[in-house]
Amino acid sequence: MKIKMPVTLRSRLSLFNAVFLSGTFLVSLVLVYFVLQTWLYHQVDSSLTEMAKQISMDVNVKKSEIIYQVAFPSSELEKQRQFVRIVNNKGQVQGHWGPLEDLPVKINGIGNVSLKGGFQELTRINDDEPIRVYTLPIISANKVAGFVQTGQSLEPIENMLQMLIVTVVILAPLFFVITLLASRLITGRALAPIASIAATAERISEQELHKRLDIPGEDEVARLARSLNRMLNRLEITVEGYKQFTGDASHELRTPLTVMKGEISLALQKERSTNYYKEVLEGIEEEVDRLIRMVEQLLFLARADGDKIKNHLNTIDLYETLVPLLEQMKILTEAKHQEISWIIPKHILISTDPDALQQILLNLLDNAIKYTPESGRIEVRVEQHPDLVRILVADTGNGIANEHLERIFERFYRIDKGRSRELGGTGLGLAIVQKLAHLIGGNLSVTSAVGHGTTFSLDIPLRPTGQL
C-alpha cells in the first residue's frame, strides 16, 4: 500500500521536522540507556572487586586451613543487597555475611581460577533475581587454598533500566506529537510570507502588472520576493512592449489598406478613363508591395526572437564582400546627386555570416541615402582593432536629436512618421539591423548631432562568440 504524503509544504516540513527530532530524541535516549547501563555495571564491578581485595588481605592460611577475621555491618550489606563469603578449595562455604545465603556456590574451574579473579552472573532459583558475583582466589604456597566471593543483586539496576525503557516508550509518541504541533506553528509563521507572495501573485493580472510584492527583510523569502518583483518588472515591460507593438503593427497595416480602399472607392464611384484605372492599380500595387515588405520583415523579427534564424559562419575578406555592394549603391547615390566614398583596407579576414553582414550594410546605406539631402556625402570606413573590426557608416544628413537616439532601434518607431512613410519606410529597418548584428555576434551603436549628420558603428569580434 502506497503511503500518501501530505499535500501542503507546511505539512511536509512539519512532519519531516517531527520525525527527524523524534528520531534524534529516540537515538539519544538509546545511547543514554546503554551508557548508563555500562556505567552502573562498571560501578558494581569496581565495588565488588575492591571489597574482595580488602577481605583477601585479612585472610591467612595455615596448614591448608583458612583463618579469617572479617566483620561487616549486616544492615549496610542488606541495604546494598550485597554479600561476602569465604569458600574453601572444595567449594564449601566457610563464612557468609549479608543476604542471599541460599545462593549456590558455582566456581568455574576451581583449580584454574586466574590470580586476578573473575566475574559470574548467577540467578536465584526461587525468584530469578540476577546476581553479579566476583571470585578472588586465596593463594598459599603457589596453590589455591580457597576463594573470597563478593556479590550484589542486579535487580535494582535492572528495575531502573526497565523503568527508563517504559519512560522512553511513553515519552516518544508524546514528544512526537508535541514536536509536530510546534513544527506546524513555527513552520506556519515561517511560511506566512510565502503564502502572502502566493496570494499577491494570484491577484496580479495583465491589467495589474504594476503591483509588487512587499516583503521586508534580508532573508531568503525577501530575496525571493525581490527576484519576483524584478521578474514582474521585466514582464510588465514585455507586455507593454507587446501592446505597443500590436497597436503600431495594426496602425501600420491599416494605413495602406485604408489608402487602397479609398482609391478603389473613388474608382468605383463613376466611369473613369483607362489611364485613371491604371494609376489606381499602380498605387494599389505599391501599397501591396509595402504590405508584403512589412509582413516579411515582421516574420523575420518573429523568427529572430524565437532563435529560429541560424548563422552560417564563413571566413570572408571584407574588401571583396563590401566593395561590390558599395558599387551597386553608388548608382542610387548618383541619382540623388550624393557623393559616396569608402575606405576599406584589403586582406582583412573575419569569420561571420556574409549574407547578414551585407543585409546590415544595405539597410544602413538605404537609410543614409533616404535621409541625406542632395549633394550630401556618405562615407563607409573599416577600422581594424586588436580584437574587433569596426564598420562605420556616416552621412551628412540632418542628424537625430538625443531624445530619439535611444528609441530608433524600436520597432515601428519613426522620427518623422509622415516623411518616413512617403519614402517607403516601414519603421522596421533599424530593428532588423540590430537583430542581425546580434545574430553575428556584433554590436551596433549610433552617434548623431542635429545638423551634423549621423554615424552608425558596427563592431564585429575577430573571433566569433558562437554560432546560433
Residues 326, 301: one domain? Answer: no
How many domains, the chain?
Answer: 3
- Residue 418 pLDDT: 46
Of 160, 175, 203, which one is at a domain's C-terminal end?
Answer: 160
Size of the chain in residues: 468
CA dist list (Å): 174 to 16, 22, 169: 16, 10, 9
Q: Is residue 44 part of a domain?
A: yes
Domain harbouring 292, CATH code = 1.10.287.130
Give the structural domain span for 100. Answer: 10-160
Digit-by-digit pLDDT tens for the chain (468 residues) are 455 555 677 788 788 888 888 888 888 888 988 999 999 999 988 989 888 888 888 788 777 677 777 666 777 888 888 888 888 888 788 888 888 777 777 776 544 545 567 887 777 656 678 888 888 888 877 788 888 888 888 888 888 989 988 988 888 888 888 888 888 888 777 777 777 777 777 777 666 666 766 667 677 767 777 787 788 777 777 777 666 666 656 666 676 777 778 878 887 888 888 888 888 888 888 778 777 777 776 677 677 666 667 777 888 899 998 998 889 888 888 888 899 999 999 888 988 888 888 888 888 888 888 888 888 999 999 999 988 999 999 999 888 888 888 778 877 776 665 444 454 456 777 888 888 888 888 899 999 888 888 999 999 988 654 443
Of 160, 179, 209, which one is at a domain's C-terminal end?
Answer: 160
CA 138 – CA 56 distance, rounded (Å)? 7
Q: Is residue 21 part of a domain?
A: yes
Domain harbouring 129, CATH code = 3.30.450.20
Residues 156, 230: one domain? Answer: no
Residues 449, 385: one domain? Answer: yes
- Residue 257 pLDDT: 77
Q: Is residue 442 part of a domain?
A: yes
- Residue 236 pLDDT: 72
Residues 29, 128: one domain? Answer: yes
Write the burial class of residue 443 (CB in 10 Å: 0-12 exposed, 13-18 middle, 19+ buried): middle
> Could you tell me which residues come within 8 angstroms of residue 376 by beta carbon, excluding any fewer than 6 positions away?
338, 339, 395, 396, 397
Residues 14, 153: one domain? Answer: yes
Domain harbouring 334, CATH code = 3.30.565.10
- Residue 458 pLDDT: 93
Q: Is residue 466 part of a domain?
A: no
Q: What is the DSSP letter of 3?
A: P
- Residue 245 pLDDT: 64
Q: Is residue 213 part of a domain?
A: no
φ and ψ at 67, to 5 degrees? -110, 125
Place of cell 535487580: 155
- Residue 306 pLDDT: 65
Residues 300, 384: one domain? Answer: no
Q: Is residue 445 part of a domain?
A: yes
And the C-alpha cell for 265? 472607392
Residues 146, 266: one domain? Answer: no
Residues 354, 422: one domain? Answer: yes
Q: Is residue 155 part of a domain?
A: yes
CA 30 – CA 154 distance, rounded (Å)? 20
CA 302 – CA 431 distance, rounded (Å)? 12
Residues 138, 17: one domain? Answer: yes
Residues 325, 394: one domain? Answer: yes
Q: Which of 192, 179, 219 is nearest to 14 (CA)?
A: 179
Residues 288, 349: one domain? Answer: no
Residues 75, 96: one domain? Answer: yes
> Could you tell me which residues come within 8 angstroms of residue 113 by beta carbon, excluding any fewer than 6 positions away?
107, 135, 137, 144, 147
Of 285, 305, 325, which one is at a domain's C-terminal end?
Answer: 305
Q: Is residue 389 part of a domain?
A: yes
> Could you tell me which residues come within 8 angstroms of residue 133 by beta carbon, excluding any fewer than 6 positions away?
48, 103, 119, 120, 121, 122, 149, 150, 151
